[in-house]
Amino acid sequence: MKLGRKLQKIATGEAWASGVDRYYRWKHPLTADSLLQNIDRTKLNQICEKYHVPGEVKAWPKYTNYEHWLGRAVDHVRELRLDRDPKLSILDIGSGAGYFIFVLKKLGHRVFGLDLSEPEFYGELFQLLDLRRVVWRIEAFEPLPEIGRFDLVTAFAVCFNGHGSGKVWERKEWEFFLNDLQSRYLNPGGRIFLALNPEEHGHYTPELRDFFLERGAQIDRHRIWLRG
């Protein structure tokens, strides 16, 4: 690393932050084996084999490759710096197979998922991993169900916004959804994290980017942070 960049990292506090990140990686190694210590691996393998589709890397059966996706979930936990205190109540929207909230639960957070009833694979994994979720289809301009309040609401690889359909949400749909989340779902000081999927025009239109910024969002490529 060039000296100038090194000095910049020290001046901005980046060097300290990445040292702290390294400390938590060392403190909680979070390997698949350690995470799955108390889980019935025979049952887990049976469920995953039942739904596995050889060669599938795009559609949901890809999540049967649990070691890979647990690793990705650990990466997300690290990036959001949730591998440390404080312990939070966290809702993951579009929770899928539940790997992300499973890792969070292991770390002592209180977690909850929200997803569709299909595929049944998700429900079976939730049962095996002892996770809770609400089965719900998010629709534009429709309020979410009453399930309590959270310190953090996350949504990775967002699809509930009509991703890939040609009718992807714009300002009005997001406005309704975020108003609902912020007023009924967040604890005081709560936050929302969204990781958008790419559409044909990119992750968002310039108008949508402006909309998020007007609401005080911090945007880093496809990742959006909002406060309550």
Ligand X SMILES: C[S@@+](CC[C@H](N)C(=O)[O-])C[C@H]1O[C@@H](n2cnc3c(N)ncnc32)[C@H](O)[C@@H]1O
- Residues in the site for ligand X, rule: CB under 6 A? 94, 96, 115-116, 137-138, 156-157, 159-160
Cα separation, 171 vs 188, in Å, equals: 25
Give the nearer residue to ligand X in terms of CB position, either 94 or 190: 94
Give the nearer residue to ligand X in terms of CB position, either 85 or 146: 146
Handedness of CA 18, 106, 191, 113 (dihedral sign): positive
Q: Which residue has tokens 């190694």? A: 29
Closest distance of CB 22 from ligand X, Å: 25
Three-state secondary structure readout of the chain = CCHHHHHHHHHHCHHHHHHHHHHHHHHCCCCHHHHCCCCCHHHHHHHHHHHCCCCCCCCHHHHHCHHHHHHHHHHHHHHCCCCCCCCCEEEEECCCCCHHHHHHHHCCCEEEEEECCCCHHHHHHHHHCCCCEEECCCCCCCCCCCCCCEEEEEEEEECCCCCCCCCCCCHHHHHHHHHHHHHHCEEEEEEEEEEECCECCECCCHHHHHHHHHCCCEEECCEEEEEC
Give the nearer residue to ligand X in terms of CB position, either 9 or 225: 225
Closest distance of CB 80 from ligand X, Å: 13
Closest distance of CB 95 from ligand X, Å: 6
Residue nearest ligand X, CB atom distance: 94
Give the nearer residue to ligand X in terms of CB position, either 70 or 107: 70
Give the nearer residue to ligand X in terms of CB position, either 9 or 163: 163
Closest distance of CB 23 from ligand X, Å: 26
Give the nearer residue to ligand X in terms of CB position, either 17 or 157: 157
Closest distance of CB 144 from ligand X, Å: 10
Closest distance of CB 137 from ligand X, Å: 5
